[in-house]
Amino acid sequence: MDFDDRFALDNKASSLSWIRRYDDHTTTDKLKDNLHAYNLSCKVEFENGEKWIVRFSMVGKVVHADEKIEAEVATMKLIRQQTTIPVPDVKAWVLAVDNVLGIGPFIMMGFIEGISVDRILQNPDARIMQQDVSDNVIETIFRQMVDFLLQLLNRNFSCIGSLTSGFEVDFGGFSATVCSRPLSKKSHDFLLDGGVDVFGKCNISTMEQLLTTSPAPRSKTFASTAKYFHYIIDGDLQHLHDQPNSVDNEHDAREMYIYFNIMKSLVSRHFLLNQDTGPFKLTCDDLQPTNMIVNNEQDLKIVGVLDWEWSYAAPAQLASTPWWLLIESSNVWSYIDKRLDRFDQLLELYEERISS
């Protein structure tokens, strides 16, 4: 046995011993790792047949890992107790300071058996829906998606931001409060990929203020839709200034600068005054069919909705046409082609499910 094999066996034994801290069952030696966009997931099977997923935020793929984990756990617990959306059962979770292995925060949750929806809908060679998926299959999945989204819209919050465990807002059985800045996927990826920290900058009126104002603390939330929309556009302007390679050339930069400033001047036209101060709704930037599990390819019953890490209370206006109808967002299309016709067809199916 070479050194790598001996090291792997020793590492597995240490991992199993560590997992036993959180459950009375004796684990088997069945461990299986999977890499995802932001996380490393380890499947663990106990001798009694129970299965868990232990999920770690990957170094180099996640910033503010503790904040991300805490918001996701609070969101999952709230959804599990207050809706019929099938989210995994959180068994245990800790922040980095409490992880005795010294490898960052983690979540332990129940493993959900089934088939990933992306195996049914997604083209294996590209991030887009297969052409030969029947309308019946799509309608079955969309109908359940609509139900989940409507349940989320029934949760009201008094400010915009991410959930944390707390005591201020009691939803019956689990207490949660919005007392943290909105941890959006967009802002996170600006910082991860471009090194531009746009978290929490607000009340900016000039470019000089934008470039000299430090990000607000993690506890910064928003009580106004208008202020939140200004905050988003300020982040776009800062990203444009601080990451020059985010545009193609000088002309592109000028066009983007003009566009963002026009959007900033039009914010007041994009929401109803009686909705400026809420109520705000729970949203998730990564809520899409490909993060869901169905029981089988015949019934297509969604039995698991995963990856709630980019969830936060947000303006109700964000509950617009879903970006995921074709799986790949239209924002990344380099040109308009036959995908638009397909998108319109799927949008019609989606709207039929909403109205039914």
Per-residue pLDDT of the chain (356 residues; tens, 9 = 90+): 443 443 343 445 455 555 656 665 555 555 566 767 788 888 888 888 888 999 988 888 888 899 999 999 999 999 998 999 999 999 988 888 877 777 789 999 999 999 999 899 887 777 778 888 898 999 999 999 999 999 999 989 999 999 987 534 444 455 567 778 899 999 999 998 888 988 865 555 554 554 555 556 777 889 999 999 999 999 999 999 999 999 999 999 999 999 999 999 999 888 788 889 989 999 999 998 889 999 999 999 999 999 999 999 999 888 878 888 888 777 777 666 777 888 888 888 888 888 77
- Whether 200 is in a domain gets the answer no
- Whether 178 is in a domain gets the answer no
- Whether 81 is in a domain gets the answer yes
- Whether 280 is in a domain gets the answer no
Query: Any bridge partners for residue 164, and if so which?
Result: 177
- Whether 105 is in a domain gets the answer yes
Looking at the 3D structure of the chain, how many domains does it have?
1
What is the predicted pLDDT for the residue at 351?
86
The CA-to-CA distance between both ends of the chain, in Å, stands at: 63
266-285 pLDDT tens trace: 998 887 888 899 899 999 99
With beta carbons less than 8 A apart as the criterion, state whether 57 and 93 touch. no
- Whether 93 is in a domain gets the answer yes
- Whether 47 is in a domain gets the answer yes
What is the predicted pLDDT for the residue at 274?
86
- Whether 15 is in a domain gets the answer yes
Give buried/exposed letters for 146-164 (b at 16+ CB in 10 A, else e). Answer: bebbeebeebebebbbbbb
CATH number for 35: 3.30.200.20
197-231 pLDDT tens trace: 888 655 555 545 545 555 567 778 899 999 999 99
Which range of residues forms the domain containing residue 9?
A: 3-113
3-class DSSP state of 57 = strand
SS3 content of the chain, % helix, strand, coil (to 5): 45, 20, 35
